[in-house]
Structure 1
Amino acid sequence: MNAAVRGAILIAIAAALWATTSIAAKTLFTHSDLAPLTLAFLRLCIACPFFGFLMWRSRKPGDLRPGRGLLAGLVGLGLLQAVYQGAYLWAVDLTGAGIATLITLCFAPVLVAIAAAPLLGERPTLRTVLALISAIVGTLMLVSGDITDPDAARLGGVMIAVLAATAYAAFTLTSRRVSGNGPVFGKAFVCFTTGAVVLAPVVWVSGGADGLTALDGLDWMLIAYIGIVPTCLGYVCFFRGMETTPATTSSIIVTLEPLFAAMLAWMILGESLGMLGMIGALVLTVSVLVASRNGSPARDE
């Protein structure tokens, strides 16, 4: 197996592992009263020492002394990571694993393709504009049931998923301005640690830590799974795969994540999108593929 194929397989494995996050989170929210922001905080807390160890193990002279500009950029990425993680898991709790993942991770790359024009000087092509229009149409079809649903929480969940997509798009755009030099695991460590530090006071003030003593063994197993498997193992697979896989190819492969999530949500949680929602999900996915081929980046941290 050549390096390119192996890298593509590793990225596909990462996408599959990431897809299980929403399934485990929805199961946890159904089984307990754990707040989404608390889960986001715990997830980052589990990841911090793991990537800290990998950073230390793979360290080279000068790696642990990043420049001021790079460090500031990584702290900014950590702040956006906190917003993204919290909003995404909150959307999963209010709407469902499949729809929250589809909106968040399919809408974000198209936002990146559009915002890159004024922010990074990358002129949008006609294909990019058509991809944006298709993504909006697909999203509206996907959430049509939630918009007409009298349950305000469902509609609120859709809006929070859009917020998560916006935060992730901002994360991606910011990562383009952060120097590519420096250890990958070191950048991940700073990013995740900053995210955990930002979420800590929010969780404390909101009372999110109060219900931790009521969690049982299954709850803690699900929390550990989310922190270890899709977060630690998933990102390691992604980073290793990116070493031999072009960025455009990887950005297309990671679009498998929302499809995996929707499929698992249907198989495990019994979530159904309906015919209009399925068509919308297809339109949204095709839009992402088009935007990805036009240069949208994959997950960077």
Structure 2
Amino acid sequence: MIRGALLIALAALLWATTGIVAKFLFSGSDLQAVTLGFLRLAVALPFFFGLMLKEQRALARSATSPPKFTRKALVPLVALGFFQAIYQGSYLLAVDMTGAGIATLIALCLAPVLVAIMAAPLLGEKPGVVTMLALAAAIAGTAMLVISDMDSAGHLRLGGILVAVLAALVYAGFTLTSRHTSTGTPVFTTAFICFFTAALILLPVVALSGGFDGLQSLEFSQWLMVAYIGIVPTCLGYVSFFSGMKTTPATLSSIIVTLEPLFVAMLAWVILGEELGVIGIAGALILTAAVIVASRSSAGSRPDTA
């Protein structure tokens, strides 16, 4: 189980580098957030296609029958791709409009708390007092982050904050859809269909918004950054996470994943010079604690699946 926990922690660290590298790209080129979201998926798709084929061959050799892609099975996977497309664009846009640290803290830390609350009316999972307290703590932590961001930026970057909240809502929708409409589709097959759908959705958005024009401003080193985002945090990060999940209980996994926004905040401070300040650090810790409580509460309402 220790190896699995370390693999999940490694995945969180790799995912954390996405916002950092993206911020370098946005500040040094004319690349739009939605274009980077599309490129990230496009780079990762061949890798996940190969993993899907390998997965299908392994199922064919075993006693397990490969899943049949009926309309009923594909609809939830397409829905997950829709959420993935909106999340990619909104999260990266929040990073561009604010900072990597605050955008990630809000987008990723609010999402599990929103899941715990939204699961009540949608999935019939009644939230307890602890979950409600976690929500209040998450709101307080987010407010402290906004105050800290105002101090460092000199003004309220409301647009970026709201986009980060949108990303959190979309991620919560992704999680709830995944939980509610599980079709038993193998992991990498699910990932490929989800990413392929998201890329198809983002492609016309990028084309119609003139997002491809920004590619002309990219230098060779910046193309390497795009490739890095598509390969390291996306491909290697997800493989590390899924590998770790095989031997790690779901409750523990959900807690370890909360390291990602903290990794981002730390890297943003060291590499980008983004300072949270005393209020921001306190808000980040409160928000992270709320995520852990909400994750444990949410996981406690259903059996571990790992």
Aligned equivalent of 1:77: 80
Whole-angstrom distance in 2 between the partners of 1:279 and 1:23: 22
Aligned equivalent of 2:91: 88
Whole-angstrom distance in 2 between the partners of 1:158 and 1:207: 24
Instruction: Write out aligned runs for 1:22-171 (5 A).
Output: 22-59=19-56, 60-61=59-60, 62-63=65-66, 65-146=68-149, 151=155, 154-171=157-174
- Residues 76-102 of structure 1: CA distance to partner in whole angstroms, max 9, x if unpaired? 000000000100000000100100000
CA contact (8 A) 2:7 2:240 kept: yes
Which consecutive residues of structure 1, in runs of 5 or more, have no partner in the other structure? none
Whole-angstrom distance in 1 between the partners of 2:55 and 2:136: 44
Aligned equivalent of 2:293: 290
Identity of aligned residues (%): 62
1:146 Cα deviation (Å)?
4.1
CA contact (8 A) 1:12 1:254 kept: yes
Aligned letter for 2:112?
P
Whole-angstrom distance in 2 between the partners of 1:282 and 1:24: 24
TM normalised by structure 1 equals 0.94
CA contact (8 A) 2:55 2:189 kept: no
CA contact (8 A) 1:113 1:296 kept: no
Whole-angstrom distance in 1 between the partners of 2:299 and 2:100: 24
- Residues 223-250 of structure 1: CA distance to partner in whole angstroms, max 9, x if unpaired? 0000000000000001111111111110
Using the TM superposition, name which of 156-165 and 140-149 deviates more. 140-149
CA contact (8 A) 1:79 1:194 kept: yes
Aligned equivalent of 1:174: 177
1:215 Cα deviation (Å)?
0.9
1:46 Cα deviation (Å)?
1.1
Aligned equivalent of 1:11: 8
* Two-structure CA RMSD over aligned residues (Å): 1.6
Q: 1:255 to 1:199 in 2, by over 3 A?
A: same
Aligned equivalent of 2:257: 254
Q: 1:212 to 1:263 in 2, by over 3 A?
A: same
Question: For 1:71, what is the secondary structure of its paired residue?
Answer: helix
Aligned equivalent of 2:242: 239
How many residue pairs were aligned?
Answer: 294
CA contact (8 A) 1:146 1:158 kept: no
Whole-angstrom distance in 2 between the partners of 1:168 and 1:267: 27
Whole-angstrom distance in 2 between the partners of 1:146 and 1:12: 27
CA contact (8 A) 1:80 1:168 kept: yes
